[in-house]
Amino acid sequence: DAGVIQSPRHEVTEMGQEVTLRCKPISGHNSLFWYRQTMMRGLELLIYFNNNVPIDDSGMPEDRFSAKMPNASFSTLKIQPSEPRDSAVYFCASSKDSLNTEAFFGQGTRLTVV
């Protein structure tokens, strides 16, 4: 398996623009996570899907952030409108529904909002 695939790897956008981050989880994994990593806040869980259904979105910072998982092989995280403080590395991770299975992380998307 190719692992969790995120695109793009890097994104530079202007404040106010819409940004869409994409994730393809590992086939057969039931859970999908979006994390945001910054120096100030560390690794924050934004939202978590199980079987394509959002289970916990309490970490989504504002209404500007939205996430979808239309099927088992694809998820998006959208920021509209983007702000400079959204600059961070965004990770997608997936896992099977088993305690002894780790979360597999994608390479991350480094977002810079100028």
Partner 1 sequence: AQKITQTQPGMFVQEKEAVTLDCTYDTSDPSYGLFWYKQPSSGEMIFLIYQGSYDQQNATEGRYSLNFQKARKSANLVISASQLGDSAMYFCAMSRIITGNQFYFGTGTSLTVIP
Question: Which residues of this chain interact with partner 1, rule CB under 8 A?
Answer: 30-31, 33, 35, 42-43, 45, 48, 50-51, 55-56, 89, 91, 93, 95-105, 107-108, 110
Nearest distance from residue 53's CB to partner 1, in Å?
A: 8
Nearest distance from residue 107's CB to partner 1, in Å?
A: 6
Give the type of residue at 75.
S
Closer residue to partner 1 (CB): 20 or 107: 107
Cα dist from 98 to 8, 42, 76, 101, 105, whole Å? 29, 26, 24, 6, 16
Nearest distance from residue 75's CB to partner 1, in Å?
A: 14
Closer residue to partner 1 (CB): 27 or 101: 101
* Residues 6 or more apart whose Cβ sits within 8 Å of residue 24: 4, 5, 6, 73, 74, 75
Nearest distance from residue 7's CB to partner 1, in Å?
A: 15
Closer residue to partner 1 (CB): 58 or 63: 58
Cis status, amide bond into 81, omega within 30 of 0: yes
The whole-angstrom separation of Cα 85 and Cα 107 is: 21
